[in-house]
A and B are shown apart, each in its own frame.
Chain A
Amino acid sequence: MSSAVEWINIGSIDEIPLRGARRLCVTLNGRPLAIFRTGDDRLFALVDVCPHKKGPLSEGIISGTTVTCPLHNWNIRLDDGKAVGPDEGDTMSLPVKIAGGDVLVGLPVETGASV
């Protein structure tokens, strides 16, 4: 998608535990967002809602670039938000970049995020 993005600054990477996640205080159309940090220090942002039963993905165990939902063990890929087979479904993934030592997450503009 090349639609316009509004970037928000969520602070230092140190705020996010290695192989861990944090939920953001921002929501997207009422849906929670979370930032994930993998073991090799890559960052990903997802709508924090498991496509299965809406579990909080940010509470799951992160290994490689997948997170396991704590409610029913669905595995969701952090890079595109898709469930790993055989399960099917996805959650929205958001762009992430580092600028001036801070982590920025891109929210789609037209959807009207509320801070």
Chain B
Amino acid sequence: MNMHPISQRLVVIGNGMAAMRTVEELLKISGGLGHRVTVFGAEPYVNYNRILLSSVLAGDKSTDEIVINSREWYGDNNIELFTGDPVVSIDCASRTVVAQSGRLVSYDRLLIATGSRPLAPPIPGLSLPGVCAFRDIADVQKMIASSGMHRRAVVIGGGLLGLEAAWGLKRRGMSVAVVHLMPTLMERQLDASAGQLLQRDLDRRGIAFFINGQTEEIIGNERAEGVVLADGREIPADLVVLAVGIRPNIDLARQAGLEINRGIVVTDDVRTSDPDIFSVGECVEHRGQVFGLVAPIWDQAKTCAAQLAGDPSSVFTSRAISTRLKITGIDVFSAGALMAAEASDEEITLRDDNRGIYKKVVLRENKVAGAVLYGEVSEGNWYLQLMQDGTDISVFRDRLIFGRGFAEQATGERIGSDAGSLPDDAQICGCNGVSKSTIICAIRDKKLASLEEVRAHTKASASCGQCTDLVKSLLSQTAGIDDDAKTPPVCGCTGAGHDEIRRAILERGLKTMDAVRQVFHWKKPDGCHKCRPALNYYLLCAWPGEYRDDAQSRFVNERVHANIQKDGTYSVVPRMWGGLTTPGELRAIADVAEKFSIPTVKVTGGQRIDLLGVKKDHLPDVWRDLNKAGLVSGHAYGKALRTVKTCVGSEWCRFGTQDSTGLGVKLEKLCWGAWTPHKVKLAVSGCPRNCAEATIKDLGVVCVDAGYDIVVGGNGGVTVRVTDHLVRVSREEEVLEYAGAFLQLYREEAWYLERTAPWIARVGIAYVKQRLIEDADGRRQLYARFLHAQSFVQSDPWAARAAGAEKHEYSTLMAEPV
């Protein structure tokens, strides 16, 4: 047996995450003594975090940001590093390795961490330029370069890696199609229901899917031009990414005569069939299992380091692990069994299609054997813990699917361990390998006070975010800081958040900006361009008819009632109620455009007409002419009610079920002039064909035979959000009441510059329903407050200015020589 002499030479084949993690663990144990370490890496880079390649592709991180250990680290720890020089042979008898460069090094102990290779389907065209895998930095650089020059990408493989590749390329502006051999996406991690929800959501984000698609060939002459499927379909592509899976990289081990199967076979002490040769990572097979996720690999690294340091008691056992997908805004969690497999297995599922939520827990003998979560994954770690601990769930079985909080209400005690009861060396962040003690030390020593700071200093929770709850609870236990309770301050002038300020305005009767700034100890006496418009709005909303609007705290557009353009001219958009206009109005617009030489006249997306390029000093005259034809301000420049888009409805359309145009006009007459936290757009569709696109508006009405479906919180901007269904009502009056009450709730409670979509995402549609549906009295009060506020604002600002108000805004100061 090896007695672990003073200085042994450890040669490491592979410079990836598993290899360097083992070396790091070894340094931790022996402080760098006892081993001279030589590392060979095939890639020309230092050790980096492969898991984060998808973040690099998506543009969220740079390659520098995913480096784990710099060259200095290797130097500081006396580790000899040869990058870009793969080992090409091992001689177990003479205990030497030879690298591609011809370099020959002898070893006392050898660690093989050659990882895995991307699988390639056996099809023609693989060697064409424009075809690549998604495995290393070089691949990602190819993909990024390609996204800059080309338009269309096809990703072959709809697993975790393939979908992250697809999303990254989509984020880089390519049109992306995914070809997947199986009937549902990520079938190894998700059951069919969750896989379908995932496909629906990605489809909505513009990724095309070819499910059950078998790729036959990649075609192209000079470079890839497309892929052909077995059923004859052809998908054009300038870039083809192969992400069909990985295979342990075992060539070297095979050539060295080590025992191999699917991977390099190791025993519980991570030794290969040669006792001086260890192996860890994706190249390994342990008890018939191969590994593709990082958590068990960290455990292997730990065992390997202990064994190298002479501790024979450390053994590797594989434990339940979980997966998450790194696509912003898509929450997927999976651990253990995906579905009942044995007769005694049971499944509990919860499904809310409207909210896009799906949860399934698989039970085996009253214990959790697996969980698949989609859309709402916060309980994932709890289920994983119940699995790992083998907790008997029979007492709270009926509450299990609703999560920890609800289950604990029934049992009256903690179920499962929390972060506090984990051992100090427990790994909290799997992606970055950060232990509980590291996080606690960083919080204490560096006085960290927020999740963001913990992320910045320790990298914990900075990758997939799966451990965020654990990190938050450590922050709360160590420093007493509840990260969730912290809301962002309004601006740099204050530490106070929006809600806090709005509450104080009402409760303490603050009626001026100065009063608010005094109470909250503002750093600058008259605030800044961020807080001034916010405070002005909050006061305006809190004290209708009483607070005097401060023009100098409004953004230029709202101050001058027109939209500033990049050349300093303005645009003018008159209101067209419900999108209706008349020959007289159109004539007036045409006359104005000619009279004032307005260069551009454009129809807007909100069914109105935009006059662009108006000189500022012409604005009052333009408005006066428009007023004469009955046209008033469309508030296209404001955080205010913009448009109410309608279709023609039952008056003309053979499908129309109600008078959508008429209802749209009524809604616009009700709501126009209202100032809101951000712009507000409405629409009314006369039937579920939804020609007015009501389901991506802040508030939409979809008419049906039985009445009116009111939907809220939609957005067609950068992040498209489909509305949530609020309520179905049968009469127009009810639509008006709900709309007014909804707008008032938004006006009173959203943060300034927060659209309804993120607001609802923040507070939850359930809360909005509770305020507007369950609390009918509250709804009527909201509506009454809305009408009261409206009584002060529904006068045309253009008419006032055409008649001479705020004259200084529209003229220059005369000057004369002294």
- From A17, A18, A56, A63, give the contact of B568 (CB < 8 A): A56
Interface 1/0 per residue, A24-58 and B, CB below 8 Å = 11100000000100010000000000000111100
State the CA gap A73–B524 with chains docked (Å).
18
A30-B555 Cα distance, complex, nearest whole Å: 26
Q: Tell me, yes or no, whether B532 is within 8 Å of chain A by CB.
A: yes
The stretch of B314-322, B350-358, B698-706, B807-815 in contact with A is B807-815
A95 adjacent to chain B (CB < 8 Å):
no
Contact indicator B526/A59 (Cβ below 8 Å): no
Bound complex: CA A17 to CA B817 (Å): 23
Interface centre among A23, A59, A61 (most CB of B within 10 A): A61
Within 32-48 of B, Cβ neighbours of A (below 8 Å) are at none
Taking a contact as CB atoms under 8 Å apart, the answer to whether A18 and B552 are in contact is yes
**Cross-chain contact B818 with A7 (CB below 8 angstroms):** yes
Contact assessment for B556 and A19 in the assembled complex, using a CB-CB cutoff below 8 Å: no
* A25 in contact with B812 (CB, 8 Å): yes
A108 on interface, CB distance cutoff 8 Å: no
A15 contacts B555, CB within 8 Å? no
- Per a CB cutoff under 8 Å, which of A18, A61, A63 touches B555? A61
**B250-275 contacts to A (CB < 8 Å):** none
Residues of B within 8 Å of A24, CB to CB, are: 812-813, 815
How does the 8 Å CB contact mask read for B277-300 relative to A, with 1 for contact and 0 for none? 000000000000000000000000
A98 at the interface (CB under 8 A from B): no
Contacting pair B813 A64 (CB below 8 A): no
A63 touches B528 (CB 8 A): yes
Whether the pair A8, B812 counts as a contact (CB closer than 8 A) is: no
Which of these, A25, A60, A61, A104, contacts B813 with CB under 8 Å?
A25
Contact pick for B524, options A55, A64, A99, A115, CB 8 Å: A64
What residue of chain B has the Cβ atom nearest to residue A54's Cβ?
A: B568
For A16, the chain B residues whose CB sits under 8 A away are 808, 813
Question: Are B815 and A19 interface neighbours, CB within 8 A?
Answer: no
> Are B814 and A71 in contact (CB-based, < 8 A)?
no
CB neighbours (8 Å) of B560 from chain A are 59
Beta-carbon contact of B815 and A25 below 8 Å: yes
Interchain CA distance A10-B814 in the complex, whole Å: 6
Partner of B526, one of A19, A35, A55: A19
Does the CB pair B568–A55 fall under 8 Å?
yes
B813 touches A23 (CB 8 A): yes
Taken together as a complex, chains A and B put the C-alpha atoms of A25 and B617 apart, in Å, by: 12
Say which size band chain A's interface belongs to: 35 or more
Q: Cβ of B556 and Cβ of A22 under 8 Å apart?
A: no
- C-alpha spacing A24/B811, complex, angstroms: 9
B103 within 8 A of A: no
**Docked pose: A20 CA to B812 CA in angstroms:** 13
Q: Does A112 contact B (CB under 8 A)?
A: no
B812–A64 touching, CB < 8 Å = no
Are A9 and B813 in contact (CB-based, < 8 A)? Answer: no
How long is the Cα–Cα vector from A19 to B525 in the complex, in angstroms? 12
Q: Which residues of A sit under 8 angstroms from B526, Cβ to Cβ? A: 19, 39, 63-64
Q: How far is the CA of A105 from the CA of B560 in the complex (A)?
A: 26
Q: Find out whether the CB atom of B564 lies under 8 angstroms from the CB atom of A8.
A: no
B795-815 to A contact mask, C-beta < 8 Å, 1/0: 000000000000010001111
Contact, CB under 8 Å: B552 / A20: yes
Residues of B within 8 A of A11 (CB): 813-814
Mark contacts of B562-598 with chain A using CB atoms, 8 A cut-off: 1 yes-contact digit, 0 otherwise.
0010101000000000000000000000000000000
| B551 close to A (CB within 8 Å) | yes
Asked whether A93 is an interface residue with its Cβ less than 8 Å from the other chain, the reply is no
Residues of B participating in the A interface, judged by any CB pair closer than 8 Å? 524-529, 532-533, 551-553, 555-556, 559-560, 564, 566, 568, 808, 812-818
Interchain Cβ contacts under 8 Å between A and B, 24 examples: A8-B817, A9-B815, A9-B817, A9-B818, A10-B813, A10-B814, A11-B813, A15-B813, A17-B808, A20-B552, A22-B813, A24-B812, A24-B813, A25-B813, A25-B814, A39-B525, A55-B568, A59-B556, A61-B532, A61-B533, A63-B532, A64-B525, A68-B528, A99-B818
By a beta-carbon cutoff of 8 Å, the part of chain A in contact with chain B is 6-11, 15-20, 22-26, 35, 39, 53-56, 59-64, 68, 70-71, 73, 75, 99, 104-105, 115
> Which 9 pairs between the two chains have the least Cβ-Cβ distance?
A68-B529, A59-B556, A61-B529, A19-B552, A25-B812, A70-B556, A8-B815, A7-B818, A39-B526
Given contacts A7-B818, A8-B818, list 6 more A-B pairs with CB under 8 A.
Answer: A11-B814, A25-B813, A61-B555, A62-B552, A70-B564, A105-B815
